[in-house]
A and B are shown apart, each in its own frame.
Chain A
C-alpha cells in the first residue's frame, strides 16, 4: 500500500490499575483531587520511608497475565530506573526490569477484513507513575503536582507484530476492552488512565531485517495512534526514498498540530542504570495463588462475544461492539434477562442499544453507567415493539420520553395514546374507506401498476394518524384488492 514499503509497529501501553491506594503507599489514587493532597511521605520520596507493595495491584497484573495466556513469574523483582526530573521526587522510578511479573502471551485483534491476528506480548510489568509538571502556570517556574506519583501502572509491551496504523489501533482497542472486562483499569483516556507509546520503523516488503525505529510518545487516544503512526510512517518513507536515513530517536506527538517533533538528543541520552531496589524484596507468586486468581477471572471479551453470537444469533460486528465496553454488555444482558428475550427481540435490543441509546449517551456525553433508563423499562419498550403495539417511529417517541425521565413505557404509551391500532375491524374499515375513496388508483393497481400500492398504504396510514402497523395494512390491503379483482 505504501509503494513497496511495510511498516513495523510495536506498542507500549500504560494502564493505570484501578486500586484505591497507591502501589507502594496508603495514599489515595482518586482522580481530580487538589494538587498534592494525595501525596504522602512515601510518594514524596522522603528519606527513611519504606515502600510496601499493594496486594491488589499485584493480583491485577497476574489477572492480566492469565487472561493473555502468559507466564506468571514465580519470583519477580522491582528495580530502580534512575533519571532526574522534578516530578520524580526520588530520582528514580520503581519499575521492573529483569524478571517482570508477566512474560509472553498474546492478544487477538480483529482487522478490517474481519479476520483475526494474534499479536505477541513481550512482557507486562508493574511500576509507579510519576507526578505531573505544569509548565505554563507560573512565569519562570514549573509547578509540580505529585498526586499521580506512586499510582500503580501496568506497562504492557507488545512484540513488533503490527503492520499498519489500523492494526495498532485494533490492538490498543483489544487491550482496552480486555483491561476493562478484567476490571483492572477504568480505561479513561482523557484522565490518562490508558495511554501508549508507539515504536515505529519501515522496511521494504520482503525484507527480514527491521529498519531503524523511532519512538512516539504522548499518545492518549485511539484516533491519535492512527494519525501519529500514519504521519510517522510517511515521514520515514519520504526520508528513505530521498536517500536519507532514519535516526533512532524519541519523538513527541502534538495532537493540536497533528505532527511529531524530535526531542532534543540530550534529553534522550538516557542511561537508566537499572538495579534491583534494595527497599523491596523479591515478589513470590505460588501456584496456588495463581489458581485462586484464575478461578476468579471474569468472562473475557472474546468469550463473551462468542456467547452472544452463539446464543442470540447476533452478527459478529454487533456482538463485537456490544462487548467493547463491559458496562454496555452488562446493560444489554440485563435487558435480555428482564424481558426473557430470545433471538428475535435480542437482536432488536442490540439494534436499539447500538443505535438510539448509544447516540443519546454520546449526545449528552454520558456513560452507560448513568443511563437514565433502567434495564427493565428498556425491556418493556422492546417487548412493545416486538408485539406490534409500537411502530419503530412511535418507539422512538417513547424512548425519548423514557430518556427524559417520564417513566415506564406502558404509562407513556397510554398517556400519549401511542399504541398502534391493532383492532382488525378498525383497520379493515380504514382500508375499505380508502378503496372506496380512490377508485382510480385502485383500478391502476389492478391493471398492474404496482407502484400505486404504496400510495394506498400511505392513505390508510394517514387515516389512522400514523398509528397503524404498516405491515398489517399491507396484508389487509393486498387481500382486499385481490378479492376486488376476482
Chain B
C-alpha cells in the first residue's frame, strides 16, 4: 500500500512529530514497505480467528472500589515546570 508524502505529513501532524522536507520521500517509502509486509498477511484465511487484543491469554484483573492513593500533590508538582494555586500551568490553549 503506497504512502504518499502528504500521508506522512498528516500522520506527523497527528503525532506532533517534526519531519524535515528532505526526509519525506524516504519515510514515505519506509512506511509503504512496512504496510506491504503487513498486507501480505491478507493472503491468510483468518475467517475463524478471533482478533487478538492482547498477547497474553488472560483476562483483566479487577480492583475493589477503594481509595488507596495518598494525597501527594505537592510532591508531584515539584516535577512540573510551572504551577500556581495547585494548578499545572501550560501555554494558553484557545478553545
Asked whether B62 lies within 8 Å of A58 as measured between CB atoms, the reply is yes
In the assembled complex, A145 has its CB within 8 A of some CB on chain B? yes
* Min CB–CB distance B89 → chain A (angstroms): 5
**Within the complex, which residue of B10, B14, B60 is in contact with A280, where a contact is CB–CB below 8 Å?**
B60
Asked whether A146 lies within 8 Å of B88 as measured between CB atoms, the reply is yes
Q: Which A residue's beta carbon lies closest to that of B55?
A: A278
In the assembled complex, B38 has its CB within 8 A of some CB on chain A? no
Given contact pairs A77-B53, A142-B92, A281-B56, A36 touches B64 in the complex (Cβ within 8 A): no
**Within the complex, which residue of B10, B56, B66, B84 is in contact with A21, where a contact is CB–CB below 8 Å?**
B66
**Within the complex, which residue of A37, A135, A273 is in contact with B73, where a contact is CB–CB below 8 Å?**
A37
Number of interface residues of A (CB under 8 A): 54
Residues of A within 8 A of B93 (CB): 85-86, 133, 135, 142
Given contact pairs A86-B90, A284-B60, A44 touches B76 in the complex (Cβ within 8 A): yes
Quick one: CB contact mask for B53-72 with A, threshold 8 Å, 1 for yes?
Answer: 11010111111111111011
**How many contacts A-B (CB < 8 Å)?**
127
Quick one: CB contact mask for A19-56 with B, threshold 8 Å, 1 for yes?
Answer: 11100011110000011111111001000000011111
In the assembled complex, A374 has its CB within 8 A of some CB on chain B? no
* Min CB–CB distance A284 → chain B (angstroms): 4
**Within the complex, which residue of A82, A142, A280 is in contact with B89, where a contact is CB–CB below 8 Å?**
A142
In the assembled complex, A282 has its CB within 8 A of some CB on chain B? yes
Residues of B within 8 A of A280 (CB): 54, 60
The CA of A56 and the CA of B67, in the complex, are separated in Å by: 13
In the assembled complex, A297 has its CB within 8 A of some CB on chain B? no
Asked whether A144 lies within 8 Å of B87 as measured between CB atoms, the reply is yes
The CA of A282 and the CA of B76, in the complex, are separated in Å by: 31
**Within the complex, which residue of A36, A55, A99, A276 is in contact with B87, where a contact is CB–CB below 8 Å?**
A36
Asked whether B92 lies within 8 Å of A135 as measured between CB atoms, the reply is yes
Asked whether B67 lies within 8 Å of A21 as measured between CB atoms, the reply is yes
Q: List 24 A-B contacts (CB under 8 A).
A: A20-B67, A21-B65, A21-B67, A26-B63, A40-B69, A53-B61, A55-B63, A55-B64, A57-B65, A75-B59, A78-B60, A134-B87, A135-B93, A135-B95, A137-B87, A138-B84, A141-B91, A141-B92, A143-B84, A143-B85, A281-B53, A281-B58, A283-B59, A284-B60
Give me the interface of B with A, judged by CB distance under 8 Å: 10, 14, 16, 51, 53-54, 56, 58-69, 71-73, 76-77, 82, 84-95
Q: Which 9 A-B pairs have the closest CB atoms?
A: A26-B68, A143-B87, A56-B65, A55-B62, A35-B86, A284-B59, A40-B69, A281-B60, A144-B88
Give me the interface of A with B, judged by CB distance under 8 Å: 19-21, 25-28, 34-41, 44, 52-58, 75, 77-78, 82, 84-86, 98-99, 133-135, 137-138, 140-146, 252, 271, 273, 276, 278, 280-284
Apart from A53-B63, A99-B53, A143-B87, list 15 A-B contacts with CB within 8 A: A27-B69, A28-B67, A36-B73, A39-B73, A40-B72, A53-B60, A55-B62, A55-B64, A75-B59, A135-B94, A135-B95, A141-B82, A144-B87, A281-B60, A281-B61
